[in-house]
Amino acid sequence: MGKERICLAYSGGLDTSCILKWLLEKDFDVVCMIADLGQQEDFEAARKKALAIGACAVYVEDVKEEFVTDFIFPAIKANAIYEGRYLLGTSVARPCIAKKQIEVCHKENCGYVAHGATGKGNDQVRFELTYYSLEPNIKVVAPWRDPEFYNRFQGRADLMAYASERGIPVPSTPKAPWSMDENMLHCSYESGILEDPAAVPPPEMFHVCVNPEDAPNKAEHIKITFKDGNPVRVENLDDGTIIEGPVPILTYLNALGRKHGVGRVDIVENRFVGIKSRGVYETPGGSILRVAHMDIEGVAMDREVMRLRDMLSPKFSELVYYGFWYSPEMDFLMAAINKSQEYIDGNVQVKLYKGTAIAQARESPTSLYDPELASMNVAGGYNPSDATGFIRINAVRLKAHRAIITKLLKNKSA
């Protein structure tokens, strides 16, 4: 009988390299899947490393287009933000990776999947809920929840010793006192010295954006064009650069955001597993898009539709954070949000300056804004005297409530 085949989400780092070797020693045939989400990594070196360790096959999957189009832009359209500050850069990436991993499983006839997520974090949930949603019969190996594994490897020193014994190349430079995860939407930092929420991150930690105080003293002005809520074009109003296409647009906005120090946030958040954790995030392009998208909605979205969509956005964000991207409730929310984005078309001018992205002007062919109705100087089709009845009708319940309160207070004092 042949060996069981397993697909490992592989990064080339110390943890997943040791997991790869450990799985081989558990008598698996290991297929590695590396997802290119736009992070700055040497994918060819990681591929060669996995093969040298013993992987029977390595897939380097370029998922940037799918990541932006099918995961990032839907989150932008939903104005998704977790607990009011986190733009979900890691959360939207995990289902994208896990989906591609399942596709590799089907190609390679793997009955198992494995990942390197810890047993205390959110990522284990995000990976595995996606696995089971897309392939209910898949079997999951989660080494950091396996007592045999985590009792053997209780820290980086144990992993380094194991790697040395097994001939696995190890990093030659000291590990930074924090962990970092990067993709096309953001870069996150956590653990290590950041586990003290009172500790101020050192300036050298930040990998993406310049410090806002070190950003250029001259502002930069751009115009972002939206069609049905999706960004389709960016024009630099200062130098004439024009960018189109999902990946080029986000790449360009990331570059501008980095330059101007846009998109840093340092928070303590609530993990799905019940633990509070501190995360520091840099989301330059995503932060710019959020500002512009919310602004174009201001002129092009109906008031009551906006109120309903705003009620759905926190739930959408929670589902993304918790790992329920592929779920019936997410399908329902996605359909509602896509409906809300019909005719969210137009341009928003944004000023980038020292850590800020500020919407300054907007125009839309589907604008619901009527200058004559809004003007204090022009009556237009609005009769000011009509407001008297409007106010009286809305005051009926307030008057009734005050009458009851007054009566109760009189009875109480009698």
Of the candidates 47, 94, 264, 290, the residue annotated as catalytic is 94
Q: In whole angstroms, what is the distance from residue 217 CA to residue 161 CA? A: 49
The closest alpha carbon to 7, from 119, 146, 104, 135, belongs to 104
Angle (deg, nearest 10), helices 328-340 and 303-322: 150
Q: How many CA atoms lie within 13 A of 357 on its CB side?
A: 30
Sequence-distant (6+) residues with CB within 8 A of 14 are 156, 159, 160, 163, 170, 171
Of the candidates 158, 166, 179, 233, the residue annotated as catalytic is 179
Of the candidates 17, 29, 91, 123, the residue annotated as catalytic is 123
Asked if residues 175 and 156 have their Cβ atoms less than 8 Å apart, the reply is yes
The closest alpha carbon to 253, from 199, 214, 292, belongs to 292
- Residue 94: active-site member: yes
Q: In whole angstroms, what is the distance from residue 171 CA to residue 275 CA? A: 30
Q: In whole angstroms, what is the distance from residue 309 CA to residue 303 CA? A: 10
Edge-to-edge strands, sheet with 187-190: 179-182, 187-190, 276-282, 264-270
Q: In whole angstroms, what is the distance from residue 380 CA to residue 374 CA? A: 9
Asked if residues 29 and 109 have their Cβ atoms less than 8 Å apart, the reply is no
- Residue 123: active-site member: yes
Give the residue ranges of DSSP H helices in 116-245. 123-134, 147-152, 156-166
- Residue 196: active-site member: no
Q: In whole angstroms, what is the distance from residue 363 CA to residue 387 CA? A: 29
Active site (catalytic) residues:
15, 94, 123, 179
